[in-house]
Amino acid sequence: MRELLGSLQRAEGGGPAGAAGQPAAGQPAAGPGADPGGAVSEATRLSSEPSLSSEPSSGGPRADGAEAARSALAELQEALVASGVSEAAPAEGGAEPSGAAALRALSRMKKSELVDECLSRGLLREGESPGTVAELRATLRVERKRDALIGELVERGFAASRARSALQATGWSLDAALAKLLE
């Protein structure tokens, strides 16, 4: 279902895309106002294509296709929410809520925020010298990667505690931990 959702979002964002978000044959390469994946930003697309703006269009195959993609996307999002696969409908920009996306970028965090996250994860104790911002970021980067590895194994059906134990025993190697869990 997520693959279908992604293809509908690409269709809504300006037409079909090739593999890995690259423009399809005959599509222009990413230019000003485009994101790194090659899709044109919503504001740029709406300003450059009046037929896809919020005003009613006079028709045409492109406008009809875009409207069909929007309605299919909305139906699919409602089905995901109703089935419990997604906790909430994606934001207007098409980004889905997820634990990893909810984390703030380490480069955007001030030292006090880094210390707070380290304290909440149990990486620091009250009164302990936190170190430099670079050290805090490095520590949190490692912990976030470890959380992602545990999350990967949890998605595959293993308990978080078993996943953490297997990863620790294998030096945080995902493939080795998976082999150990499947023994």
pLDDT in tens, 148-164: 999 999 999 999 999 99
Residue whose entry in the numeric block shows the structure tokens 């919503």:
42
Q: How far is it, in rounded angstroms, from Cα 167 to Cα 132? A: 28
Percent of the chain exceeding pLDDT 90 equals 36
Domain ranges (residues) in the chain: 2-83, 99-182
Would the pTM count as exceeding 0.85? no
Q: What are phi and psi of 17, to 5 degrees?
A: -115, 155
In angstroms, the CA 137 to CA 89 distance is: 31
For tokens 């293993």, the residue is 158
Q: Which two tokens stand for residue 144?
A: 């976030």
What SS3 state is found at 122?
Answer: coil
Mean pLDDT, the chain, integer: 72
